[in-house]
Chain A
Amino acid sequence: MENTSQVPVTVLTGFLGAGKTTLLNRILTEQHGRKYAVIVNEFGEQGIDNDLVVDADEEVFEMNNGCICCTVRGDLIRILSGLMKRADKLDAIIVETTGLADPAPVAQTFFVDQDVADRTKLDAIVTVADAVHLSSQLVDHHEAEEQIAFADVILLNKVELVGDNDIVKVNDRIRKINPFAKIIKTTRCDAPLDEIVGLNAFSLDRVLDIEPDFLESDHDHEHDDDVTSLSFVSDTPLDMDKFQDWFGNLLRTKGQDILRSKGILNFKGEEERYVFQGVHMLMDASPMGPWPKGKDRSSRVVFIGRDLDNMNLKEGFENCKSA
């Protein structure tokens, strides 16, 4: 449900020491003239300039709905419903997650909880990455990989400490995991706040921003449990029934390994573009207006996850083409 009174929520992730606290301090101390609530875990600072700091405790719980990977943040549901009772409207809410946290439960809270979905909307997942240490963290920690995989925006921080060649390398490494995130190179997280908060990156029409350059090649990777991405393009219109059968079954059976999915679809006999955006087993989809005149009507889908090679994604997608 699109509702103009929904307050945008930015989820801020980042591995230990990457610079998340620096960014939070900037949000809390800069004279940005907006009213933000910042939901944090153990944070000593108080906001100035009218910002509100709320303590949370990352209570992740499984929904009793039979969906095995459907975990949500119970504390977030409680805090957001409290914030929505305020007399003055908040311009945005920023949710910090701890360095080792899996971003999925936070994102899923916005899909699963009706009260949260009615009054707030997931704006973007922003990940702060340490340009010096990211490569080694990706090898050692699943969480670092997941935080890159889930991101809509990645602040590649501390670039002043890294040589140009290494920046290109780490940039490529990020791109292998996540082809659609916007990468901003920063020193002390010095990106303008309006490139971080209030982006509408999770809105379905932003799916259309997938850059076609990233959609061409399959990527090599070293281990089976690496997070990678796969993307497919088709100029032949798709059959809607076939696609729904395949995609529904895919998320149901492989949703645990598919971290993010996004796509724009051209269905046979339909004038409108269809877009979807998913986190694990949960997804939103809807028609998004007619195709722009004079442009190719090509379907594009992107998957980010583990073990993608064993899901017959290419074959499954090809089979959805209309006869």
Chain B
Amino acid sequence: MNADLETLQKSNKTELERRGSIFNIGAPATEAVTIRNQIAVGFGDGTVRFFQSGSDPKTVKAHKGVVLSMTNYEDHVLTGGEDGRFLKISSDGNIDEIFNFGSKWVDCVASHKDTKVCSSGKTVYIWTKNKDKPQTLEHQSTVAGLAFDNKGKRLAVSRYGGVTVWKLNNNKWTASNFTWKGSHGTVTFSPDTKYIVTAMQENQIHGWRINDKADLAMRGYPSKIKSFTWVGDTPYLVTSGSSDAVCWPFDGKEGPMGRKPIVVANGGKELATFVKALNGEKAVFTGFTDGSVLLAEIDESKKPIMIRSSTGSEVSTIAISSDNSQILIGDMKGSILLSSLWADN
């Protein structure tokens, strides 16, 4: 492949860059998700491209304008776009329009098994198997984040002023509100589903212990937190937003309350913009404002490894294939590195 030849000829490359392929798409990479041995990436030009080791990516012209949100759904991806369309896309390029919201953006998407969810404006739309008409959940302000718990029984919806957690009982959704002043974005359940955490529009993340709604304010960041990921068995919630990957421990009864986070993967003058757990390991990939990526164990005494050198554009997404063999790194200029994680692959 041409891209391989090109990378071999360049010096000062990391091991992963040497054995990987680089693709210049020319539009910001906005989201990436894994479907089996492929990694689907959404771009600012409206395309979704399916990357697979050993072949050129398959390009699907999905949206007019930016791919704003993406998640996996069975063997497909669900995408939401600036063009108001909510799509189901297969890796062979088949596009199924689930709904068209016109001039309203489809800001967030989520899925659990055969349930497809998206948000547009203040409303969440839920399509369950064999039903054409979606159920709708209304909120007081625009929805900025969606997350299912691991059983698909609860759906967290972030918005201005906090999070609404919807619980499914006998086919009916009931709401419970978690309140904290400010605007809340991306939301996640802890793996044990005892906590929910949001990234705010300010330089902080906010969490709640679900059973008693106790607040966890995690502050002290120099910039906004655009990305977080759960790592290891403890588990740690690892976040971007600082010159290091900031790792908050969520073990014990109190989680991170009154405790200090561990910091790993120091980027010097650069700030972390994207973090991604290495499945099954107590290790995290951290992408920075200059495009570089470090792999670090959650252990302050260990040195991180540089796996991607600077591209001059901030890392906007990292995905790892489901068999942990391939890594994909994308940045805001649309440069994509696809490489095998292990030397003997």
Contacts and interface: CB of A to CB of B under 8 A. Distances in A.
A233 to B, nearest CB: 40
A70 to B, nearest CB: 11
Interface stretch (A56-64, A167-175, A201-209, A301-309): A56-64
B66 A85 contact: yes
Interface stretch (A47-55, A131-139, A254-262, A266-274): A47-55
Interface residues of A, number: 26
Interface string B95-123: 00000000111010000000000000110
A74 B160 contact: yes
A85 B183 contact: no
Contacts of A57: 121-122, 141-142
A231 B183 CA distance: 38
B144 interface: yes
B103 A87 contact: no
A235 interface: no
Contacts of B43: 87
Interface stretch (B13-21, B23-31, B149-157): B23-31
B105 A114 contact: no
A75 interface: yes
Nearest to B46: A87
Contact of B44 (A61, A63, A78, A85): A85
A64 B202 contact: yes
Nearest to B141: A59
B142 A82 contact: no
B142 A64 contact: no
Given A57-B141, A61-B183, A75-B142, A87 B160 contact: no
B105 A59 contact: no
B59 interface: no
B183 A74 contact: yes
A59 B28 contact: no
Nearest to A78: B144
Contact of A59 (B104, B142, B223): B142
For chain B, the bracket of interface size reads 20 to 34
A30 interface: no
A74 B68 CA distance: 17
A295 interface: no
A65 interface: yes
B203 to A, nearest CB: 8
Interface string B78-104: 000010000000000000000000011
A65 B201 CA distance: 12
Which secondary structure dominates chain A's binding surface? Answer: mixed
Nearest to B83: A52
B219 to A, nearest CB: 9
Nearest to A63: B202
A113 interface: yes
Contact of A55 (B27, B30, B45, B121): B121
A77 B202 contact: no
A167 to B, nearest CB: 38
Contact of B183 (A53, A54, A59): A59
A115 interface: yes
A86 interface: yes
Interface string A24-63: 0000000000000000000000100000111101010111
Given A57-B122, A59-B183, A61-B182, A78 B142 contact: yes
B10 interface: no
Contact of B45 (A46, A87, A113): A87
Contacts of A53: 103
B182 A64 contact: yes
B224 A115 contact: yes
**For B103, B144, B223, which residue has the most chain A Cβ atoms within 10 angstroms?**
B103
Contact of A87 (B28, B68, B224): B28
Contacts of A65: 202
A82 B82 contact: yes
A115 B141 CA distance: 22
Interface in B220-255: 223-224
A67 to B, nearest CB: 12
Contacts of B181: 61-62, 64
Interface in B197-219: 201-202, 204
Contacts of B27: 86-87
24 contacts: A55-B103, A55-B105, A57-B121, A57-B141, A59-B160, A61-B161, A61-B181, A65-B202, A74-B141, A77-B183, A78-B142, A79-B105, A82-B68, A82-B82, A82-B105, A85-B44, A85-B66, A86-B27, A86-B44, A86-B45, A87-B28, A87-B44, A87-B46, A114-B223
| For the complex of A and B, 8 pairs with smallest distance between CB atoms | A87-B27, A87-B45, A74-B183, A85-B44, A87-B44, A85-B66, A85-B28, A59-B141
Given A57-B121, A61-B161, A74-B142, 8 more contacts: A53-B103, A55-B103, A59-B183, A62-B182, A78-B142, A85-B44, A86-B44, A86-B65
